[in-house]
Amino acid sequence: MATINITGSTFNETVDKGGIVILDFWAEWCGPCKMFGPTFEAAALKHPDIVFGKINTEEEQELAAHFQIRSIPTLMALKDGIIVFNQSGAMMPAQFEELIKALRDLDMEKIKADIAAQDE
């Protein structure tokens, strides 16, 4: 699957589907964003079971503000609707593949139990 553009109106329906969703917060004027773009696109083609969404911070300022995006590119990953990764800065392809493997390996039952314990 290729990357998809995420907007304020499509955000919830995209992340509520469950599974892994990786978001790339970017802007047209951002040099590191443009350098990371091909890595993000290649990973999207290599891992069609994962949703790879791009959020243009210039066009989606409310989303960027909601997630307190202070620098771009910022990568955010959700698994089963829970934010499990949030980091600014571009990644090299090998680093990005390591992140994807780590996301696949996450024990979501343990994470959900930890969240429930914190809420008590």
Catalytic residue flag (residue 33): yes
Dmax of the chain from CA atoms?
44
Do the Cβ atoms of 58 and 9 come closer than 8 Å? no
Do the Cβ atoms of 19 and 80 come closer than 8 Å? yes
Q: Is 90 helix (H, G, I), strand (E, B) or coil?
A: coil
Quote the CA–CA distance of 47 and 78 in Å, as a whole number: 15
Q: 21, 30, 90, 100: which one is catalytic?
A: 30
Q: 33, 43, 55, 100: which one is catalytic?
A: 33
Catalytic residue flag (residue 1): no
Q: Hey, which residues are catalytic here?
A: 30, 33
